[in-house]
């Protein structure tokens, strides 16, 4: 196997008397310079990891080392096809190990390659047994909120936003306890027999707060339901152990895990996946296809992960995710978590010194969280503020509703501050105060980016923007005529 996987970059830590200080992992784009409207250039500060994280240098190097050996997967007799097939299947195993998957088999786990978290959850939604009841908190990202309604036979219950992790568990328990016993089952047992699924995020893409996944899984299982973990924001920031959490499926995206090559993962229980119609019909998913005497076609579908991977697989995407899993493990994921927690503490301490800033939180200040944090600034339109961070400081954050509209609306509540006009989403009347600014970071973030961000927030609030901005296409942009 000519592809090197030995180029591990470990978290470069020096331990001092009171603390250990680790360097960020090398990522692509760390040297990119961007112009400022006020003159000059700075290193780009990518603080929008929650949308898409930069590629780890290690992932890029591994992909580049493999690229000359690229070949068709599962199809060719040639050497490179065989090598690529091995790489693809080994990637599946690496990811299964990374997630602590249960041994393959009917009661075990499969790792299915998809395009993204959205794709993974839509796949699972399509694979649900007939008449499954789905329970989902209104606080979910749209990718976990919306796929379930698309099946006419699926009944979806949307749960209200909890204000503490304990309340989340209680709300779910009450909802599951209220399930009707399925028709034809023993009403005396009190145990509903129909299939049920709970979908929950591991870490919020708005507040970064961790959800009580293990406790929710216990409640789900106690009521005969299964649970899928939306780990889009958890996987890049925290080790995941599917057995320890006792979740049935995990979904995440490569592009948030430092592997932006168009692949995602759905890992978990094989039985529902094996029992479902293939997600896409086509080559690769079918074992044999034969004409019937009545003129139709008989198809014998695979029961392995290939069942839901019809078409030519994205071997580079799959390999890049495996390379990222390996890189994070070899770097020392716990060290990376500890370093990120220090960055979070710095951001929070910095923002706390600016009374005009309100950090959005569902579970309160003490809730454990990952490096994702949203806030609003009194007197500022969020799009205006984000535009000034970019144009005047070279800092890339995100503003808006972050594909979690019900959650952001709940968190902002009756926001009393009337924001400025610039960047208000014109197309949606009444929404202009309903957007926030999100800063997010991770394993590749240098301390300087965090320090620059905190300084920029302080200066913008104290002194105002140094440039003029105008609304263009619903967004706030620097006004070149200023
Ligand atoms: C919590 C969460 N779930 C799901 C998704 C969807 O991920 P993707 O766009 O990669 O499908 C996101 C993306 O931001 C997310 O933050």
CATH for 293: 3.40.640.10
Going from the C-alpha of 376 to that of each of 215, 356, 362, 436, the distances in angstroms are 31, 8, 15, 5
Where is 216: in which H helix or E strand?
Answer: helix 213-222
Work out the mean pLDDT of the chain and round it to a whole number: 90
Based on the fold, state whether residues 387 and 286 are members of the same structural domain.
Answer: no
The radius of gyration of the chain's CA atoms, rounded to the nearest angstrom, is 24
With the most atoms of ligand 1 within 8 angstroms of its CB, the residue from 50, 137, 211, 233 to mutate is: 233
Which pLDDT value is given to residue 388?
97
Task: Give domain status of residue 10, yes or no.
Answer: no
Compute the distance from residue 232 Cα to the ligand 1 centre, in Å.
Answer: 5
Closest ligand 1 atom to the C-alpha of 115? Answer: 11
CA distance 386 to 375: 11
Compute the distance from residue 193 Cα to the ligand 1 centre, in Å.
Answer: 31
Those residues of the chain that have pLDDT short of 50 are 1-9, 15-20, 416-418, 423-432
Cα angle, residue 199 at apex, residues 197 and 203 outer, rounded to 5°: 155
Based on the fold, state whether residues 209 and 124 are members of the same structural domain.
Answer: yes
- Burial of residue 256 (CB within 10 Å: 0-12, 13-18, 19+) is buried
Q: Give pLDDT tens digits for 444-466.
A: 999 999 999 999 999 999 999 99
Where a domain ends, among 329, 361, 381? 329
Report residues whose beta carbon is within 6 angstroms of any ligand 1 atom.
Answer: 50, 116-118, 141, 143-144, 201, 205, 230, 232-233, 253, 255, 403
Task: Give domain status of residue 239, yes or no.
Answer: yes
For the residues of 139-188, what is the DSSP string, one character each?
TS-HHHHSGGGGSTT-EEEEEPPPSSHHHHHHHHHHHHHTPPPPTTS-GG
The model's pTM is: 0.92
Q: Strand, coil or helix: what is 230?
A: strand
Check residue 307 and give left, alpha or beta (phi > 0: left; psi -120 to 50: alpha). alpha
**Cα atoms in the 13 Å half-sphere on the side-chain side of 292:** 7
Length of the chain: 482
- The question of whether 403 is a catalytic residue gets the answer yes
Which pLDDT value is given to residue 414?
52
Based on the fold, state whether residues 466 and 345 are members of the same structural domain.
Answer: yes
Based on the fold, state whether residues 298 and 379 are members of the same structural domain.
Answer: no
Task: Give domain status of residue 25, yes or no.
Answer: no
Based on the fold, state whether residues 322 and 339 are members of the same structural domain.
Answer: no
Based on the fold, state whether residues 339 and 439 are members of the same structural domain.
Answer: yes
With the most atoms of ligand 1 within 8 angstroms of its CB, the residue from 118, 142, 324 to mutate is: 118
Task: Give domain status of residue 43, yes or no.
Answer: yes
Would you say 465 and 392 are in contact if contact means Cβ atoms under 8 Å apart?
yes
Closest ligand 1 atom to the C-alpha of 201? Answer: 1
Task: Give domain status of residue 55, yes or no.
Answer: no
Catalytic residue among 13, 101, 325, 403: 403
Based on the fold, state whether residues 155 and 259 are members of the same structural domain.
Answer: yes
Protein residue with its CA nearest to atom 16 in ligand 1: 205
Which pLDDT value is given to residue 15?
47
Which pLDDT value is given to residue 104?
73
With the most atoms of ligand 1 within 8 angstroms of its CB, the residue from 52, 232, 405 to mutate is: 232
Q: Strand, coil or helix: what is 66?
A: helix
Residue 324 β-bridge partners: none
Residues 6+ apart with CB under 8 A from 194: 131, 132, 133, 179, 182, 185
Check residue 49 and give left, alpha or beta (phi > 0: left; psi -120 to 50: alpha). alpha
Which pLDDT value is given to residue 473?
81
Closest CA to 304 of 108, 86, 75: 108
Task: Give domain status of residue 4, yes or no.
Answer: no
Closest ligand 1 atom to the C-alpha of 403? Answer: 14
Where a domain ends, among 266, 296, 329? 329
Compute the distance from residue 151 Cα to the ligand 1 centre, in Å.
Answer: 21
Based on the fold, state whether residues 88 and 206 are members of the same structural domain.
Answer: yes
Compute the distance from residue 267 Cα to the ligand 1 centre, in Å.
Answer: 16
For the residues of 102-132, what is the DSSP string, one character each?
PPSSTTSEEEEEESSHHHHHHHHHHHSPTT-
Which pLDDT value is given to residue 401?
87
CA distance 292 to 271: 28
CA distance 385 to 419: 11
CA distance 11 to 27: 13
φ/ψ (deg, to 5) at 38? -85, 0
Based on the fold, state whether residues 367 and 386 are members of the same structural domain.
Answer: yes
CA distance 133 to 155: 5
Based on the fold, state whether residues 215 and 182 are members of the same structural domain.
Answer: yes
Give the CATH number, domain containing residue 462: 3.90.1150.10
CA distance 411 to 413: 5
- Token digits of residue 361: 């939180």
Closest ligand 1 atom to the C-alpha of 51? Answer: 14
Task: Give domain status of residue 453, yes or no.
Answer: yes
What range does the domain containing 362 cover? 32-50+332-478
Compute the distance from residue 253 Cα to the ligand 1 centre, in Å.
Answer: 7
CA distance 188 to 166: 30
Based on the fold, state whether residues 325 and 394 are members of the same structural domain.
Answer: no
Task: Give domain status of residue 139, yes or no.
Answer: yes
Based on the fold, state whether residues 164 and 225 are members of the same structural domain.
Answer: yes
How many domains does the structure of the chain reveal? 2
Compute the distance from residue 80 Cα to the ligand 1 centre, in Å.
Answer: 33
Where a domain ends, among 271, 306, 329? 329
- Tally of CB atoms within 10 A around 470: 17
């Amino acid at each position: 196997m000519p592809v090197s996987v030995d180029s591990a970059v470990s978290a470069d830590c020096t331990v001092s008397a009171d603390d250990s200080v680790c360097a960020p992992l090398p990522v692509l784009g760390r040297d990119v310079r961007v112009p400022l409207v006020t003159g000059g250039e700075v290193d780009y500060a990518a603080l929008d990891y929650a949308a898409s994280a930069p590629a780890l240098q290690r992932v890029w190097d591994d992909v580049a080392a493999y690229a000359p050996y690229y070949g068709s997967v599962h199809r060719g007799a040639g050497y490179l096809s065989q090598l690529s097939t091995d790489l693809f299947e080994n990637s599946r195993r690496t990811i299964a190990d990374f997630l602590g998957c249960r041994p393959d088999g009917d009661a075990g786990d499969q790792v299915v390659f998809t395009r993204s978290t959205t794709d993974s959850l839509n796949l699972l939604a399509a694979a649900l047994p007939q008449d499954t009841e789905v329970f989902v908190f209104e606080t979910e990202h749209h990718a976990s909120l919306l796929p379930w309604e698309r099946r006419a036979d699926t009944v979806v219950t949307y749960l209200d936003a909890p204000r503490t992790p304990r309340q989340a568990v209680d709300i779910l328990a009450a909802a599951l306890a209220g399930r009707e016993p399925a028709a034809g089952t023993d009403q005396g047992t009190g145990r509903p027999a129909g299939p049920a699924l709970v979908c929950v995020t591991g870490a919020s893409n708005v507040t970064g707060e961790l959800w009580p996944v293990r406790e929710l899984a216990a409640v789900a299982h106690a009521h005969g339901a299964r649970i899928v973990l939306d780990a889009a924001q958890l996987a890049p920031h925290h080790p995941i152990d599917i057995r320890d959490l006792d979740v049935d499926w995990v979904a995440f995206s490569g592009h948030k895990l430092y592997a932006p090559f168009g692949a995602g993962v759905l890992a978990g229980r094989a039985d529902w996946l094996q029992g479902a119609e293939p997600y896409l019909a086509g080559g690769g998913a079918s074992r044999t296809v034969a004409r019937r005497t009545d003129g139709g076609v008989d198809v014998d579908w695979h029961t392995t992960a290939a069942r839901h991977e019809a078409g030519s697989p994205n071997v580079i995407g799959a390999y890049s995710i495996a390379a990222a899993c390996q890189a994070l493990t070899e770097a020392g994921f716990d060290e990376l978590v500890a370093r990120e927690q220090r960055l979070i503490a710095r951001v929070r301490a910095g923002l706390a010194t600016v009374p005009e800033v309100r950090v959005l939180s569902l579970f309160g200040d003490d809730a454990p969280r990952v490096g994702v944090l949203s806030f609003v600034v009194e007197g500022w339109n969020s799009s205006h503020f984000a535009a000034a961070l970019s144009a005047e400081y070279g800092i890339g954050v995100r503003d808006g509703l972050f594909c979690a509209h019900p959650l952001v609306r709940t968190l902002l509540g009756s926001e009393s501050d009337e924001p400025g006009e610039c960047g208000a989403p014109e197309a949606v009347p009444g929404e202009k105060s309903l957007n926030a600014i999100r800063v997010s970071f991770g394993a590749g973030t240098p301390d300087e980016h965090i320090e620059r961000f905190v300084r920029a927030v302080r200066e913008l609030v104290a002194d105002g923007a140094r440039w003029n901005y105008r609304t263009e296409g619903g967004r706030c942009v620097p006004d070149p005529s200023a």
